[in-house]
Structure 1
Amino acid sequence: MSSDGVFVHPDGRCLSDRVGDGTRVWGFAQVLDGAVVGRDCNICGGAFVEGGVVIGDRVTVKNSVLLFEGVSVGDDAFLGPGVVFTNDMRPRAHVKRSGDALLPTTVEQGATLGAGVVVVCGTVIGHDAFVGAGAVVTADVAPHAFVVGSPARQIGWVCRCGERLPADLTCPCGRSYEQAEVGLRELP
């Protein structure tokens, strides 16, 4: 079914009225009331987007990704299959926290999170960063950083195109970078 330029698979569920044109919600995916999803996003099968989540434009949310209140995802980000975000550092079944009691998490524009990544709440994943499959993010990730492992640790840098950067920070695609106060900055 489709309404207002949003496609919702017959087995999908979209309760939010704040989903942008061209977005697709596939089978067994759920977008709850209060979630904000941008234009031209792909919410794949089994993904769960809770109220209070904000997703930018052209974001790919692969199968079985779990996004909970307080998570914000920038434009052009990629969330691989099975990525899980947390939002409570001290969860207890008998204590219900929401709003300001939860720690926000931000995935900045163009970042990629590989399959099975776990993101502990209260972190920022910088723009164009690349988090390798299976990593556990427990601290901020700098822009363009390439991190892997549990806990995630930086092992290099990546270009906006996704290629790992050599020592001179010049990508075969033609982009060049320099160290910034935090992460890398693309040169003109």
Structure 2
Amino acid sequence: MIKVHSLADVQSEHIGEGSTIWQFCVILKGAIIGRNCNINCQVFLENDVIIGDNVTIKPGVQVWDGITIEDNVFIGPNVTFTNDLFPRSKRYPEVFAKTLIKKGASIGANATILAGITVGENAMIGAGSVVTKNVGDNEIWYGNPASHKSNITQ
């Protein structure tokens, strides 16, 4: 069963079983959301967005065209994604940059992910970080600008 709060504006029909969408979300028609996702209040998902299975997106996050979030990813509150490195009012690129957040990654609250970045599998991004470069699998990055601090050992 899919749970959609009565105060959410959900235009997409591509939402997986077991997902919950909370109040004041806006999900545009082309967005794809996997199974067992938790899309918290005040989240905006644009059209060319793919969200995998078992993803948690906390409040205050906007996911713009060109962003893919794979399975088992955690996106903390107020994480900021971008999709245009040279934005100008009323001037749009022919194609928005593609950003990929790979399986099992976690992005801490208030982090900023610049357009065209790949965050590797099981990587962790610290709260408040500004990610300007690709992050490898199992790496921990934080700071402004974020840099590689260590690896996750399991």
In our comparison, the structure showing a higher alpha carbon Rg is 1
Cα offsets for 1:130-162 (capped at 9, x unmatched):
00000011110000100001111011112xxxx
Please list every run of at least 4 consecutive aligned residues from structure 1 whose deviation after the TM superposition is greater than 3 angstroms. none
Residue matched to 1:89: 85
Report if aligned partners of 1:72, 1:105 keep a CA contact under 8 Å in 2. yes
**Counterpart of 1:63 in 2: which secondary structure?**
coil
Tell me the distance in 2 between the aligned counterparts of 1:10 and 1:101: 34
Report if aligned partners of 1:31, 1:50 keep a CA contact under 8 Å in 2. yes
- Per the normalisation by structure 2, the TM-score is 0.97
Tell me the distance in 2 between the aligned counterparts of 1:47 and 1:117: 15
Tell me the distance in 1 between the aligned counterparts of 2:46 and 2:14: 13
What number of residue pairs does the alignment pair up?
Answer: 154
The structure 2 residue matched to 1:26, chosen from 3, 22, 33, is 22
Q: Given the alignment of the two structures, is residue 136 of structure 1 paired with residue 127 of structure 2, yes or no?
A: no
Q: Which has the higher strand share?
A: 2
Unaligned 5+ runs, structure 1: 159-164, 166-174, 176-188
- Per the normalisation by structure 1, the TM-score is 0.80
Q: Given the alignment of the two structures, is residue 106 of structure 1 paired with residue 66 of structure 2, yes or no?
A: no
Tell me the distance in 1 between the aligned counterparts of 2:121 and 2:10: 28
Q: Given the alignment of the two structures, is residue 78 of structure 1 paired with residue 79 of structure 2, yes or no?
A: no
Tell me the distance in 2 between the aligned counterparts of 1:23 and 1:30: 15
**Counterpart of 2:14 in 1: which secondary structure?**
coil
Alignment RMSD, CA only? 1.0
Report if aligned partners of 1:13, 1:25 keep a CA contact under 8 Å in 2. no
